[in-house]
Amino acid sequence: MTLLLDEIARATARLAEAGVASPRADAEELAASIHGVTRGALHTLPDSAFDARYWEGIARREAGEPLQHITGRAYFRYLELMVGPGVFVPRPETEVMAGWAIDVLRDMDVADPVVVDLGTGSSAIALSIAQEVPQARVHAVELDPGAHEWASRNIKNLDERGQVTLHNADFADALTELNGQVDLVVSNPPYIPMSEWEYVPRDVRDHDPARALWGGGDDGLDAMRIVEATARRLLRPGGVIAVEHSDLQGAPVYWIFSEENGWRDQRNRRDLTDRDRFVTARLTTE
């Protein structure tokens, strides 16, 4: 066993003791980031290449700092995004919703579909759609100055075809010039009720921006209601929405997109753990 692999084993034990959910993966990812290699190449590094800064990274993770803040990167579908303090770290479960949206756009009988991502954060969803649906025109909306800065960096770095337009705006009244013209709205809004504060993992609660977490109202769904109203304004007749929620909110979010509000084909959809994760609906054509 090389020195680095031995140190990774020690780091894994420390992270496990600290309650980190994926200690081995985090220990390896930190080692790969600090040594400038892939996780698969860690075993090839000679003992002389070991960088003692590795233990600084382990100490930060042990103290509850998100792995992605330490490495400065987050992976989402086929993207490597820049992230750090001030922006919500994209989660794997959101990749399922993004994939659903991409499949729907590919199947649309629309030459250049118009997409709006409400509350884009790091721009993970917007950039994934742009990368995988080359004909799409994507408008990404973000109000928070810190998150907007991270989105701007990622779009500048990854939007090779210039498909994504970033708007520094409140999604409650953004993009009025597109009213009735949008083919798909997608959103991962804040949806956690404050009553759940003590149950939110420490690295999320203490490091992700509050504006991206707490949805407002007793049920945490006030922001969701704003997304619904904005989507109803933006979408063309027959346009589609996909919106993420917690695994316990499928039923109430489903009813936010009610027939009385002009929606049809409402459906709860599940993530990779087979839990309710996002609702989709279509705006009526009448």
Please give the annotated binding residues for substrate, written as ranges.
Answer: 188-191
Annotated binding site for S-adenosyl-L-methionine: 142, 171, 188
Residue appearing with tokens 């994939």: 99
Point out the annotated binding site.
142, 171, 188-191
